[in-house]
Chains A and B, each alone.
Chain A
Amino acid sequence: MFSKALSAAVNGIDGMIVTVEADVSDGLPMFDLVGYLGSEVREARERVRISLKNSGYHLPPKRITINLSPADIRKEGTAFDLPIAIAILTAFGYIPQENLEHTLFIGELSLNGEINKVNGVLPIVYTAFKQGFTRCIVPVSNIKEGAVVQGIDVYGVSSLQEVIRFLNNDSLLEPYFLDVEELFSNHTEKEDIDFSDVTGQELAKRAIEVAASGMHNILMVGPPGAGKTMLAKRIPTIMPELSFEESLEISKIYSVSGLLNNNQSLILKRPFRSPHHTITTAALTGGGGTPMPGEISLSHFGVLFLDEFPEFNRNTIEILRQPLEENEVTITRLQGTFRYPANFMMVAAMNPCSCGHYPDRSKCNCSPNQVKRYLGKISRPLLDRIDICIETLQVSYKDLKEKKVSETSKNIRERVMKVREVQMQRYRNENFNYNSQLTPKTISKYCKLGKEEQILIEKAFTKMNLSARAYHRILKVARTIADLDSAENINLKHLSEAICYRSLDKKYWEE
């Protein structure tokens, strides 16, 4: 007899519906699995056979063939165990075929018939919903993740017998209900870090506020202990709270990577990823035999913090160029091409020389050449993608002692959110959202300069030997500063502040 059950695989960060077909016919007793399968899927044969036996189902000695269709796309993962078992049972007549309609199954079986958690539940359920399925049967440990998708019934199951009883209408199972709105409103900020923890560093704080408002990438240069890492960690606290759509997209990535915890249904906090500088290319951008999202995708809509910037492997860092431009990363493998979103704000921190104290000559003994070599580890093209660059100062004892009341993250966040709204409004007809994404063409449209401003930038251009790229970066940052000031047009003070944050020129790099 022939039967089929529906399941899904993860492709990139989206689900892809897979039909599991089972056929039982006469012949030598056999259990065959076909359909371009990865080794985990092929091993499903043993898991399914034994868990069926331990759940109390006796399979007659027949020739069983399973096909996973479409058969030309490679299938990986253990989520097909449950649909395979269901398809077999249906083929043997334990479950009527019509009871499987519009139902999607995912789950890994253990030998005693229990159902274990799998990765990628959220994107799969989301795809099922989009494709018109009415119910999804997922492992109970993934239920909170799956139930985020509204408009589809999601059932959490813990054993194979439970599924069969449910499908045969022998027992009643309630779809899990998750109140997403409550989830968002109950998500009170329990942040134990705040911007007011940082003493001094007014310049860095202001620059970070500008950077966060316009999603500009930022580079902080400074001696060890100047508070670069401390500042970077607090950047997510001044960025606007995640919207549902953003949260869903991030959660999909985390779901695929298996980083959603058991009790977690959505990622509600802006990601802050801080990979160690020994990270490999594949771990940073995503990849591997079966591609998985990398750190840049895990920091989607959040902050990617690269501490000790020059210490990163040069090739690894250079890979960032394309994702920084396109806000997504494309990985091509034998099995196909995968796209992972990577719209992150890059925050890099570095010391000015290998000992970290240049230009303080009482501590630094590096020769000018050593300093230059250290700075030279970062390539120009990458620097060209960093809009804001500042140098932080060692905190003096006076600053530490005189605890000046500095602004809290909450206050700064309000301003940042305001600027984000202004940008949303302004770019509603464009295909981007932030000032940092302005292209030279759109810059001339949105960053118009008055006469005085043009004179200033012209003077600065010749005096400071700016490049065309630097010019554009200055205008983009000036636009954000003007937005922070609620100004319609960029004026002199916005422009001069932007010039002050300009990225390191070639001249500085060489002096």
Chain B
Amino acid sequence: MNNKEYWFWLCNIHNIGLKKIQAILDMYETPEGAFHESEKGLELLKELTDADRHMIHKSKDSVRIKESYAKVIDKGIYFVTKEDTQYPDKLRNIFNPPFALYVKGNLPKNHIGSIAVIGARNCSDYGREVTKYFAGELAKAGLQVISGLARGIDGFAHEGALAGGGSTYGVLGSGIDICYPIENFSLYMDMQKQGGIISEYGIGVNPNPGFFPMRNRIISGICDGIFVVEAKEKSGSLITVDIGLEQGKNIYAMPGRINDQLSKGCNNLIKIGAKLVSEPEDILEDFFLNYKNSEKDMKKNYKLLETKEKMVYDSLSFFPKHMNEIAGETNFSIHELSEILLNLELKNYIKQVRKNYYVYIL
């Protein structure tokens, strides 16, 4: 058995978690040492129970370990331990780093800045559009976009980053080969080509509510800054922020209206000192010393549009607007308006987010 296989063994013993592994390593220094030690020696460790010792003893089946390790490799999954050079440096320095990571695709590069974009699962249409835009711009500027491949903001962050042509990394709260939630399967596949999927858990481990806070420490660990787009007052995203603060990361938050449930968490973050983000430059200037603010308008250049189209375009925002409302503001009849909207849509200026609801595209 080689060194990797010893590590693989140590990280995959039932009921032996981070603390117990740490205790074992404190005693034997390497997994190989632990493997060849007799059961008696383990009795000195007060962290381990009799059942644990029995489990460790039972798991020392080198043929089976080799087989299961080969299975992981066969699936195109990398097993990266703390000793490897590929292991992200930023992660090494957190309070309780994972001993090994399973990776599909790549790991984030150490020398490139990375930003975590996180937020609520039940996000609004506004949140979705904003996330896609920001993730796209950040990725275009060269940042690595990190998130949790969950529903809502997380997924849209990855989507935006992919569309922006940058690299994006997803940290899972389940086994590396399990895509949860399944809706994000196409993202899961695409990200392996343009970034990577990372998990602390091996093949076939089902998602478990307890895994997600643990996953959050990795998200905050491998990034340099955390950007919260939409979060309720009590949100899982805030756990990531808390861990991030302990790890000394920059916190960015998107402001929202004061009575908006989905923005309360963000507004509270800003209140206690997070950086208010209203345009991608707010984040980028922290990453690139000489980042010059191009002062570009939030809206597309619309010199090419006709007068009527400009009127309609001007009445739109990131908040989805129903055709009736647009008609009310611009005084166009429904059949006139539908033609203008279709033209704008075909010209890629606006987008229909739901039936008869429109937003503009940046």
- Picked from A203, A391, A492, A496, the residue with its CB within 8 Å of the CB of B327 is A203
Whole-angstrom distance from the CB of B347 to the nearest CB of chain A? 10
The complex places the Cα of A459 from the Cα of B342 at a distance, in Å, of 10
Report yes or no: A362 in contact with B355, Cβ–Cβ below 8 A: no
Contacting residues of chain A (474-509) with chain B, CB-CB under 8 angstroms = 481, 492-493, 496-497, 499-501, 504, 508
Report yes or no: B356 in contact with A368, Cβ–Cβ below 8 A: no
Whole-angstrom distance from the CB of B112 to the nearest CB of chain A? 31
Chain B residue, CB-CB nearest to A366: B122
Whole-angstrom distance from the CB of A42 to the nearest CB of chain B? 57
Which residues of the other chain, B, contact A508 by a CB distance below 8 angstroms? 354-355
Report yes or no: B357 in contact with A359, Cβ–Cβ below 8 A: yes
Which residues of the other chain, A, contact B333 by a CB distance below 8 angstroms? 202, 206
Report yes or no: A390 in contact with B356, Cβ–Cβ below 8 A: yes
Report yes or no: A500 in contact with B341, Cβ–Cβ below 8 A: yes
Convert B321-362 into 0s and 1s, putting 1 for each residue whose CB lies closer than 8 angstroms to a CB of A.
011110100000111101101110110000001111100000
* B121 in the interface (beta carbon within 8 A): yes
With contact pairs A391-B354, A393-B324, A508-B354 given, residues A359 and B124 touching in the complex (Cβ less than 8 Å): yes
- Picked from A367, A460, A501, the residue with its CB within 8 Å of the CB of B121 is A367
Chain A residue, CB-CB nearest to B339: A496
- Picked from B125, B261, B357, the residue with its CB within 8 Å of the CB of A391 is B357
The complex places the Cα of A497 from the Cα of B357 at a distance, in Å, of 15
Contacting residues of chain B (85-136) with chain A, CB-CB under 8 angstroms = 121-125
Report yes or no: B335 in contact with A459, Cβ–Cβ below 8 A: no
Whole-angstrom distance from the CB of A200 to the nearest CB of chain B? 6
The complex places the Cα of A504 from the Cα of B345 at a distance, in Å, of 16
With contact pairs A496-B342, A500-B342 given, residues A391 and B122 touching in the complex (Cβ less than 8 Å): no
* B262 in the interface (beta carbon within 8 A): yes
Contacting residues of chain A (438-472) with chain B, CB-CB under 8 angstroms = 456, 459-460, 463
Chain B residue, CB-CB nearest to A372: B183
* A369 in the interface (beta carbon within 8 A): yes
Which residues of the other chain, B, contact A401 by a CB distance below 8 angstroms? none
The complex places the Cα of A367 from the Cα of B327 at a distance, in Å, of 30
Chain B residue, CB-CB nearest to A210: B335
Whole-angstrom distance from the CB of A352 to the nearest CB of chain B? 8
* B151 in the interface (beta carbon within 8 A): yes
With contact pairs A361-B122, A367-B151 given, residues A493 and B339 touching in the complex (Cβ less than 8 Å): yes
The complex places the Cα of A496 from the Cα of B183 at a distance, in Å, of 32
* B37 in the interface (beta carbon within 8 A): no
Contacting residues of chain A (345-403) with chain B, CB-CB under 8 angstroms = 352, 359, 361-362, 365-369, 389-391, 393
Count contacts on B: residues with CB < 8 A to the other chain: 35
Convert B143-163 into 0s and 1s, putting 1 for each residue whose CB lies closer than 8 angstroms to a CB of A.
000000001100000000000
Which residues of the other chain, A, contact B33 by a CB distance below 8 angstroms? none
Report yes or no: A362 in contact with B261, Cβ–Cβ below 8 A: yes
Which residues of the other chain, A, contact B262 by a CB distance below 8 angstroms? 361
Report yes or no: A203 in contact with B324, Cβ–Cβ below 8 A: yes
With contact pairs A203-B323, A206-B334 given, residues A390 and B125 touching in the complex (Cβ less than 8 Å): no
* A18 in the interface (beta carbon within 8 A): no
* B260 in the interface (beta carbon within 8 A): yes
* B320 in the interface (beta carbon within 8 A): yes
* B273 in the interface (beta carbon within 8 A): no
Whole-angstrom distance from the CB of B306 to the nearest CB of chain A? 13
Whole-angstrom distance from the CB of A218 to the nearest CB of chain B? 12
Count contacts on A: residues with CB < 8 A to the other chain: 34
Which residues of the other chain, A, contact B261 by a CB distance below 8 angstroms? 361-362
Whole-angstrom distance from the CB of A226 to the nearest CB of chain B? 10
Chain B residue, CB-CB nearest to A352: B354
Report yes or no: B181 in contact with A369, Cβ–Cβ below 8 A: yes
- Picked from A203, A361, A369, A393, the residue with its CB within 8 Å of the CB of B334 is A203
Q: Which of B262, B323, B324 has the most CB of A within 10 A?
A: B324
The complex places the Cα of A389 from the Cα of B352 at a distance, in Å, of 14
Which residues of the other chain, B, contact A112 by a CB distance below 8 angstroms? none
Report yes or no: B327 in contact with A463, Cβ–Cβ below 8 A: no
Report yes or no: B334 in contact with A359, Cβ–Cβ below 8 A: no
The complex places the Cα of A329 from the Cα of B122 at a distance, in Å, of 44
With contact pairs A206-B334, A359-B320, A361-B122 given, residues A393 and B325 touching in the complex (Cβ less than 8 Å): yes
The complex places the Cα of A368 from the Cα of B357 at a distance, in Å, of 17
Report yes or no: A497 in contact with B345, Cβ–Cβ below 8 A: no
The complex places the Cα of A367 from the Cα of B181 at a distance, in Å, of 12
The complex places the Cα of A413 from the Cα of B71 at a distance, in Å, of 71
Report yes or no: B355 in contact with A390, Cβ–Cβ below 8 A: yes
The complex places the Cα of A202 from the Cα of B336 at a distance, in Å, of 12
Convert B172-198 into 0s and 1s, putting 1 for each residue whose CB lies closer than 8 angstroms to a CB of A.
000000000101000000000000000
Chain A residue, CB-CB nearest to B152: A368
- Picked from B125, B152, B260, B334, the residue with its CB within 8 Å of the CB of A202 is B334
Report yes or no: B334 in contact with A367, Cβ–Cβ below 8 A: no
The complex places the Cα of A203 from the Cα of B125 at a distance, in Å, of 22
Whole-angstrom distance from the CB of B65 to the nearest CB of chain A? 38
* A221 in the interface (beta carbon within 8 A): yes
Which residues of the other chain, A, contact B354 by a CB distance below 8 angstroms? 352, 359, 391, 508, 511
Chain A residue, CB-CB nearest to B334: A206
With contact pairs A202-B327, A369-B181 given, residues A389 and B338 touching in the complex (Cβ less than 8 Å): no
Whole-angstrom distance from the CB of A144 to the nearest CB of chain B? 45
Report yes or no: A497 in contact with B339, Cβ–Cβ below 8 A: yes
Report yes or no: A389 in contact with B325, Cβ–Cβ below 8 A: no
The complex places the Cα of A366 from the Cα of B123 at a distance, in Å, of 10
Report yes or no: A369 in contact with B151, Cβ–Cβ below 8 A: yes
Which residues of the other chain, B, contact A459 by a CB distance below 8 angstroms? 346
- Picked from A368, A393, A463, A504, the residue with its CB within 8 Å of the CB of B122 is A368
* A201 in the interface (beta carbon within 8 A): yes
Whole-angstrom distance from the CB of B324 to the nearest CB of chain A? 5
Which residues of the other chain, B, contact A201 by a CB distance below 8 angstroms? 324
Which residues of the other chain, A, contact B336 by a CB distance below 8 angstroms? 493
Whole-angstrom distance from the CB of B194 to the nearest CB of chain A? 22
A-B CB contact pairs (8 Å), 25 listed: A200-B324, A202-B324, A203-B327, A203-B334, A206-B333, A206-B334, A206-B335, A221-B355, A359-B320, A359-B353, A359-B357, A362-B259, A367-B151, A368-B122, A369-B183, A463-B345, A463-B346, A496-B338, A496-B343, A497-B335, A497-B338, A499-B338, A499-B342, A500-B341, A511-B354
Pairs of residues from A and B, 9 with the lowest C-beta to C-beta distance, nearest first: A500-B338, A496-B342, A496-B339, A391-B355, A361-B124, A393-B322, A391-B356, A497-B338, A206-B334
B residues adjacent to A (C-beta < 8 A): 121-125, 151-152, 181, 183, 259-262, 320, 322-325, 327, 333-336, 338-339, 341-343, 345-346, 353-357
- Beyond A362-B261, A481-B335, A496-B338, 20 additional contacts (C-beta under 8 Å) are A202-B334, A203-B322, A203-B323, A203-B334, A221-B355, A352-B354, A361-B123, A361-B124, A365-B122, A366-B122, A367-B121, A368-B151, A389-B355, A391-B357, A456-B342, A493-B336, A493-B339, A496-B341, A496-B342, A504-B355
